[in-house]
């Protein structure tokens, strides 16, 4: 039996170890304070302490650090920095297991925070209940399942009598669900490795990039007037229906998306970047033309479109210019220019496929799961900052990402175990290993 076969056998025989760790993490609710949730469920520190105890039992050295907006003030205007975010009992957890020497180091990273419970659960969102091959709970997919898999992958290597040559570093962060200040702080503290694996849910796909995400709000002014009466020209005081003007933008965004579907493709992304309208708010009374309309939208951008700060200012300017040009086609909008307010700019990252880490991750993962394809993540992950400081980074994790943030979020246990094996294979091949004497 080969060394890897011993490791895979240990994972199969100790599946309750993997599922048990995930259950404990789910049972320590860690909802990000950004969300409207009861305070008793906002315990990122409790979840980190559950993991810390497990890592210490594995013989890893551990350390808590706390993001601090004042200490990170030099990063203002860069990804993940928010001056108003606070971090009382919201620590990052860093752990390390020294190798014997002569190997490459790896960082295994993930976020411990989760979104709010939401409604319509039929299972306890913080129960971690197993029904058949499914383990239920908020964070089972996004992304405590990945944290359990990467942690137990290291333990499986240890328990199978192998000693790694390169150092193993584990960094679990807070605040990913509200902008990524946890990972910014982790990187700012100086933690580094020769490669980084983020275990966000990819359904076992190998993801060498993620897209940047912009949230914006387009405000279109109108002029109220009685909706049941004939209106004159706006130049003589007539009403202007903001919903009608917003409809013009809906039509033009569809036209722009056709252009983007060609111009903003990537060979490792299944869909191109687009602008999607997520919210439409307008009007005050059923008898009155809408005085104002607000379109909240989500726009994605590629790593190749990042600006010098690693953010999407170039795409922001592109959208702002588009809004202006559309306004010039309409007399009212020309005189009453719509305004764009930017709400979120979540950064992106990419590791090119000619880099050694990419090749090792791809080949090692496929030794366990030959069906794993290379496909980028269409939403945001925390990989941007690792890439920015020169650490090649990929995403591989268990779970269908479409189940993230849903009621009755669950992970398939067999997929969780397969991913644990994949991560163990990657760690062995990247760090190097030898029999424990």
d(CA 272, CA 257): 9
Respond yes or no: is residue 159 known to be catalytic.
no
The two beta strands, 130-131 and 134-136, are antiparallel
Q: Catalytic residue at 259?
A: no
Considering 17, 113, 175, 194, which one is annotated as catalytic? 113
Q: With helix as H, strand as E and coil as C, how does 101-161 read?
A: CCCCCEEEEEECCECCCCCCCCCCCCCCCEECCEEECCCCCCCHHHHHHHHHHHHHHHHCC
Compute the distance between CA of residue 429 and CA of residue 251 in angstroms, rounded to an integer. Answer: 51
CA 169 to chain CA centroid, nearest Å: 20
The pair of structure tokens assigned to 187 is 């990187």
β-pair type (168-173, 339-346): unpaired
Out of 142, 175, 176, 194, which one is annotated catalytic?
176
Q: How far apart are CA 300 and CA 402, in angstroms?
A: 17
DSSP state string for 254-319: HHHHHHHHHHT--TT-SS---EEEEEEEE-S-TTB--SEEEEEEEEEE-GGG--TTSS-HHHHHHH
Measured CA to CA, the distance from residue 397 to residue 405 in angstroms comes to 16
Q: How far is CA 104 from CA 155, 186, 288, in A?
A: 18, 20, 67
Lookup result for tokens 């004497």: 437
- The Cβ-side half-sphere exposure at 324, using a 13 Å CA radius, reads 6
| Contact partners, residue 14, CB within 8 Å, separation at least 6 | 152, 156, 159
CB 103 within 8 A of CB 166: yes
Bridge partners, 216 (sequence order) = 297, 342
Residues tagged active-site:
113, 176
């Amino acid at each position: 039996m080969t060394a890897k076969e011993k490791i895979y056998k240990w994972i199969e025989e100790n599946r309750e170890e993997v599922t048990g760790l995930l259950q404990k993490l789910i049972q320590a609710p860690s909802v990000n304070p950004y969300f409207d949730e009861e305070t008793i469920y906002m315990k990122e520190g409790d979840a980190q302490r559950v993991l810390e105890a497990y890592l210490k039992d594995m013989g890893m050295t551990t350390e808590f650090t706390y993001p601090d907006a004042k200490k990170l003030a030099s990063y203002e205007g860069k990804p993940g920095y928010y001056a108003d975010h606070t971090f009382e009992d919201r620590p990052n957890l860093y752990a390390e297991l020294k190798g014997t020497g002569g190997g490459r180091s790896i960082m295994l990273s993930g976020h411990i925070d989760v979104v709010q419970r939401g409604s319509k659960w039929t299972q306890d969102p913080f129960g971690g209940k197993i029904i058949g091959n499914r383990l239920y709970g908020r964070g089972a997919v996004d992304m405590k399942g990945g944290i359990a898999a990467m942690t137990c992958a290291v333990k499986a290597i240890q328990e199978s009598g192998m000693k790694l040559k390169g150092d193993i570093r584990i960094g679990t962060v807070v605040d990913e669900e509200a902008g990524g200040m946890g990972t910014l702080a982790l990187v700012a503290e100086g933690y580094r490795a020769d490669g980084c694996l983020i275990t966000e849910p990819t359904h076992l796909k190998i993801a060498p990039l993620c897209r940047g995400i912009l949230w914006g709000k387009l405000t279109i002014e109108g002029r109220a007037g009685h909706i049941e009466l004939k209106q004159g020209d706006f130049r003589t005081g007539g009403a202007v229906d903001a919903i009608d003007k917003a409809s013009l933008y809906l039509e033009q965004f569809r036209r722009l998306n056709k252009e983007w579907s060609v111009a903003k493709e990537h060979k490792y992304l299944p869909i191109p970047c687009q602008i999607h309208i997520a919210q439409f708010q307008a009007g005050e009374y059923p008898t009155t033309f809408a005085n104002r309309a607000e379109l909240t939208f989500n726009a994605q951008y590629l790593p190749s479109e990042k600006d010098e700060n690693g953010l999407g200012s170039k795409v922001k300017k592109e959208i702002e210019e588009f809004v202006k040009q559309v306004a010039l086609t309409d007399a009212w909008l020309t005189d009453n220019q719509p305004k764009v307010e930017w709400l979120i700019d979540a950064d992106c990252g990419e590791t090119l496929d000619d880099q050694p880490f990419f090749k090792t991750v791809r080949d090692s993962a496929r030794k366990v799961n030959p069906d794993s394809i290379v496909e980028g993540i269409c939403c945001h992950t925390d990989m941007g900052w690792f890439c920015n400081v020169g650490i090649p980074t990929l995403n591989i994790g268990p779970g269908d990402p479409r189940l993230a943030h849903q009621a009755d979020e669950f992970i398939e246990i067999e997929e969780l175990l397969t991913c644990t094996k994949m991560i163990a294979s990657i760690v062995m091949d990247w760090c190097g290993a030898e029999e424990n004497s």
